[in-house]
Chain A
Amino acid sequence: EIVLTQSPGTLSLSPGERATLSCRASQSVSSTYLAWYQQKPGQAPRLLIYGASSRATGIPDRFSGSGSGTDFTLTISRLEPEDFAVYYCQQYGSSPLFTFGQGTKLEIK
């Protein structure tokens, strides 16, 4: 089973700052199979990034994804108030087919 470890657990930043969230896999993951989701309080998660670096439909270009192998990064270039949420990475692979990281909470400083 591939385990995804996200860091930090909580990130405290101010609007306008740059956010860098990390997702590390216990084994190599194809970039094709790595996605990121955003979840705001009381809402369902929504897809942000797929294929490690492709933005989903309607996602602003301040969100970007990068990485390969075991290390992946979600970057938010300039934080807007609506970006403060929990972010999850997810991989597709062998059993179980899908695993999620434990999440990074991005909070307002």
Chain B
Amino acid sequence: EVQLVQSGAEVKKPGESLKISCQGSGYSFTTYWIGWVRQMPGKGLEWMAIIYPGDSDTRYSPSFQGQVTISADKSISTAYLQWSSLKASDTAMYYCVRHTNVYFDYWGQGTLVTVSS
């Protein structure tokens, strides 16, 4: 069974750094792109970035380029999303997704990030 298990909720202050994680299981982690989708409170879905764990090739949405960094450690089948300096506007639910070249077939349970002073 394919599963994407994300790290737990985070509460941070503006300016702090953060790295959230997503561990894949039940499939060959290195042969599927894996990415992140943001959902701000009460809003829709926004694609942020994807990475191919096999060779660490990455793609970013122009809206998120330079704002976040996606990475992966294939030895532990885990993808990451990190911020160097959080803003209040980063408050959102973040979903990890497995990508099949065209669509997202599996989703993680979500990681709620709250940024507040």
Residues of A within 8 A of B (CB): 32-33, 35, 37, 39, 44-47, 50-51, 56, 88, 90, 92, 95-103
Establish whether residues A46 and B44, one from each chain, have CB atoms under 8 Å apart when the complex forms: no
Closest residue of chain B to A56 (Cβ to Cβ) is B105
B32 is an interface residue with CB less than 8 A from chain A: no
A35→B102 contact, CB < 8 A: yes
Say yes or no: A97-B61 contact (C-beta < 8 A), given A35-B103, A44-B109.
yes
Give Cα A39 to B110, complex, Å.
12
Nearest chain B residue, comparing its CB with the CB of A42: B110
B117 at the interface (CB under 8 A from A): no
Q: Is B113 an interface residue (CB 8 A)?
A: no
* A33 contact set on B, CB distance < 8 A: 102
Residue of A nearest to B93 (CB): A44
Stretch among B23-31, B45-53, B84-92 lining the A interface? B45-53
Does the CB pair B103–A47 fall under 8 Å?
yes
New A-B contacts (13) at CB < 8 Å, excluding given A96-B47, A100-B44: A32-B102, A33-B102, A35-B104, A44-B107, A44-B110, A47-B104, A50-B102, A50-B103, A97-B50, A97-B61, A98-B61, A98-B104, A103-B44
Q: Which of A39, A47, A97, A98 has the most C-beta atoms of chain B within 10 angstroms of its own C-beta?
A: A98
B44 touches A102 (CB 8 A): yes
List residues 75-117 of chain B with CB under 8 A from any CB of chain A: 95, 101-110
CB distance from B19 to the nearest CB of A (A): 20
Question: Can you list 5 A-B contacts with CB-CB less than 8 angstroms, sorted by A residue number?
Answer: A35-B104, A37-B104, A51-B102, A56-B105, A103-B44
Please indicate the chain B residues that have their CB under 8 angstroms from the CB of A39 in the complex. 45
CB of A99 within 8 A of CB of B47, answer yes
CA distance A83 to B63 in the complex (A): 32
Q: A95-B62, A96-B61, A96-B62 are in contact. Are A45 and B45 (CB under 8 A)?
A: yes
Contact of A100 among B47, B62, B102, B107 (CB under 8 A): B47
Cα separation A103 to B40 with both chains bound (whole Å): 13
Q: Does B59 contact A (CB under 8 A)?
A: yes
Tell me if A97 and B47 are in contact (CB < 8 A): yes
